Structure 1
Amino acid sequence: MENSTATAGDYALEARGLSKSFGSFYAVKDVDLKVRRGTIHALIGPNGAGKTTCFNLLTKTLTPTAGQVIYEGRDITGLRTAQVAKLGLVRSFQISATFPHLTCLENVRVALQSNHGKSFRFWSPLSAIRSLDPRAVELLEQVGLADAAHLQATELSYGKKRALEIATTLALDPKVMLLDEPTAGMGHEDLEPITELIRQVSAGRTILIVEHNLSVVSSLCERITVLQHGELLTEGTYDEVSNNEDVITAYMGGVDAL
């Protein structure tokens, strides 16, 4: 169970009774979630559990049918996606969202332009945009892509594309990062570098992660929330969750599931 001494101020992000229905179907129903500031918190569950829908509700890509989203003590339920991003609540997507035919440096620079209010100023001199290059290079160094700065994103391995996406997310200066399936589709050789990268960028930040790879979850996450059929099934540490019979049944229907 969550520490009973925790107060509302200890949480960077909360969902209170969060629901999303499409007609009579509830993709997410009455979900309560508390993400403690400065931690890596996982949201897991079998396919169709409502994890990505929950992410979309938290970052305002979708409007909830009911419930509240609280960010840093502020009710952001009525805000738009761009507004919550400017407050520091930023997400990545399961499918890589980089520009394939821009270089790594250019991809990060585009994200920095948005964060510095330079977006869509096509009449600005190139020198104004290039002033962002030193920070872009710093971010590429942070994710291990310094040597790939002038490669097009399409030339990168899958794992390095995910690293580039994390760099563009960091360019938005997030306080809370929501990472949707950051290791999806990766080969074994990419898992450890991306896992370590997530651990590194979590310093001074809060991360909520949707992840199917439970070995990644167990090595990174302090708390785990489990969804099933859009509803909260249980929450706890990895040991608590992995030994929960309801979780085992939800995943595989047997005692050897996790």
Structure 2
Amino acid sequence: MAVDGEIILETRGLTKEFKGFVAVDGVNLKVRRGTIHALIGPNGAGKTTVFNLLTKFLEPTKGTILYAGEDITREKPAQIARRGIVRSFQISAVFPHLTVLENVRVALQRRLGTSFHFWRPERSLEVLNERALELLSAVDLQDYADNVTVELPYGRKRALEIATTLALEPDLMLLDEPTQGMGHEDVGRVAELIKRVSANRTVLMVEHNLSVVAQLSDTITVLNRGQVLAEGTYDEVSHNPQVLEAYMGTAQ
């Protein structure tokens, strides 16, 4: 994947303390536009806390968050989303008893600012169907458009979550454990899907499955105990003795 060098997201000294416990400790992160950047680390490393800080579900104790060169450290979650930073779970609470197509239409309504107009006649929403079907095709769900969402297999539900994320036209997609809990076949399908939808946008993901990380990532940042332990390509970080020690308990 081509790297144009522009930094779309940067943190400087990002820190979060909880009553004396330092969950994120001085993290400096640079995410380049048009890349897939993975955030990995053992359990308790601080990955999800970093995501919560970036999307403003938590306020940092110290540090700065820059997006496209602008300081967004004190902005609210809604402001962050309007900038084009979309975290998968923010809009992936899919409605289980709506159809797959209806779920994507609701996400498209959010983009139009009409998301809470549920009392509008359904025919008024048909204008959204064409775009909704395009998004479903992008995630290989076009054949499931009329299925009730609760009936979908787990991997297909995650694909629907990605479709609803795409409906908000994000510049930066934050994917939190996109393959968690999946069988091997679903992992492969969703990994390929992430690769496909990353075209012309930036992806920052937290992911435990290292084979997915190796397959997809341009850059990997390894966290341990709230600090950046290493950063680089998969080949670089997978041979780093400190990374091996953090994951395996011993340098190899």
TM-score clears 0.5: yes
**TM-score (normalised: structure 1):** 0.93
Residue of structure 1 in register with 2:45 after alignment: 49
Residue of structure 1 in register with 2:93 after alignment: 97
Residue of structure 1 in register with 2:12 after alignment: 16
Candidates 224, 234, 238, aligned match of 2:234:
238
Distance in 2, Cα, partners of 1:153 & 1:101: 6
Distance in 1, Cα, partners of 2:76 & 2:168: 16
Deviation at 1:95, TM superposition (A): 11
Q: Deviations over 1:198-223 (max 9, x none)?
A: 00000000000100010000010011
Where in structure 2 are the equivalents of 1:149-188 lying within 5 Å?
149-188=145-184
Deviation at 1:189, TM superposition (A): 1.0
The count of aligned residue pairs is 250
Residue of structure 2 in register with 1:225 after alignment: 221
Match of 1:131, SS state, is helix
Distance in 2, Cα, partners of 1:97 & 1:252: 34
Candidates 51, 67, 73, aligned match of 2:69:
73
**TM-score (normalised: structure 2):** 0.95
Gap regions ≥5 residues in structure 1: none
Residue of structure 2 in register with 1:254 after alignment: 250
Q: Deviations over 1:144-183 (max 9, x none)?
A: 0001011111111111111000000000000000000000
Deviation at 1:100, TM superposition (A): 1.3
Distance in 2, Cα, partners of 1:174 & 1:96: 14
Deviation at 1:123, TM superposition (A): 4.4
RMSD value over aligned CA atoms?
A: 1.8
Residue of structure 2 in register with 1:208 after alignment: 204
Distance in 1, Cα, partners of 2:192 & 2:128: 27
Residue of structure 2 in register with 1:193 after alignment: 189
Q: Within the alignment, does 1:137 sit opposite 2:133 as a pair?
A: yes
Deviation at 1:97, TM superposition (A): 2.4
Candidates 122, 136, 160, aligned match of 1:126:
122
138-147 or 65-74, larger mean C-alpha shift:
65-74
Sequence identity percentage = 63
Alpha carbons 1:28, 1:54 under 8 Å: kept: yes
| Matched AA of 1:199 | K
